[in-house]
A and B are shown apart, each in its own frame.
Chain A
Amino acid sequence: MAGQTLYDKLWSQHLVKERDDGTALIYIDRQLLHEVTSPQAFEGLRLANRKPWRLDANLATPDHNVPTTVIERAEGNAGIKDPVSLIQVQTLDDNCAAFGIEEFKINDARQGIVHVVGPEQGATLPGMTVVCGDSHTATHGAFAALAHGIGTSEVEHVLATQCLLAQKMKNMQVRVEGELGTGVTAKDVVLAIIGRIGTAGGTGYAIEFAGSAIQSLSMEGRMTVCNMAIEAGARVGLIAVDDTTIDYLAERPYAPTAEQWDAAVADWRNLVSDADAAFDKVVEIDAASIEPQVSWGTSPEMVTGISGEVPDPADAADDTVQRSYTRALEYMGLAPKQKITDIRLDKVFIGSCTNSRIEDLREAAKVAKGKKVASSIQLAMVVPGSGLVKRQAEAEGLDKIFTEAGFEWREPGCSMCLAMNADKLGAGEHCASTSNRNFEGRQGYGGRTHLVSPAMAAAAAIAGHFVDVRQLDAQPTAQEA
Chain B
Amino acid sequence: MRQFEREQGLVAPLDRANVDTDLIIPKQFLKSIKRTGFGVNLFDELRYLDEGYPGQDASQRPLNPDFVLNQPRYQGASVLLARRNFGCGSSREHAPWALEDFGFRVVIAPSFADIFYNNAFKNGILLVPLDEDTVDRLFKAVEANEGYRLDVDLENQRVTTPEGEIIEFEVDAFRKHCLLNGLDDIGITLQDEDAIRAFEEKHRVARPWLFRDKAPA
Contact = CB atoms under 8 A, between A and B. Distances in A.
A17 interface: yes
Given A200-B84, A320-B84, A439-B23, A16 B92 contact: no
Interface stretch (B4-12, B99-107, B148-156, B202-210): B202-210
A127 B210 CA distance: 9
Interface in B185-217: 185-186, 189-190, 192, 195-196, 199-200, 203, 207-216
Contact of A420 (B18, B23, B27): B27
B72 interface: no
Interface stretch (A35-43, A173-181, A209-217, A461-469): A35-43
22 contacts: A25-B189, A39-B33, A43-B33, A50-B186, A56-B211, A82-B31, A88-B31, A151-B122, A153-B185, A157-B185, A161-B196, A254-B212, A256-B209, A260-B209, A263-B208, A321-B17, A420-B27, A437-B20, A441-B22, A441-B23, A441-B26, A441-B45
A200 B113 contact: yes
Interface in B40-64: 45, 51, 54-55
A192 to B, nearest CB: 19
A151 B91 contact: yes
A203 B111 contact: yes
B209 A263 contact: yes
A366 interface: no
A84 B56 CA distance: 13
A79 to B, nearest CB: 16
Interface of B: 15-18, 20, 22-23, 26-28, 30-35, 45, 51, 54-55, 83-85, 88-93, 96, 111, 113-115, 118-119, 122-123, 172-174, 177, 185-186, 189-190, 192, 195-196, 199-200, 203, 207-216
A153 B123 CA distance: 9
Interface string A424-445: 0000000000000101111001
B22 A437 contact: yes
Contact of A16 (B84, B174, B196): B196
Interface of A: 14, 16-17, 19, 21-23, 25, 27, 29, 36-37, 39-40, 43, 48, 50, 53-54, 56, 64-65, 82, 84-85, 87-88, 91, 102, 125, 127-128, 133-135, 137, 149-154, 156-157, 160-163, 165, 167, 199-200, 203-204, 230, 233-235, 253-254, 256, 260-261, 263-264, 267, 299, 320-321, 323-324, 327, 418-420, 437, 439-442, 445-446
Pick from B51, B83, B91 the residue with the most CB of A within 10 Å. Answer: B91
A324 B18 contact: yes
Given A17-B195, A167-B172, A27 B200 contact: yes
B125 to A, nearest CB: 12
Nearest to B198: A16
A324 B17 contact: yes
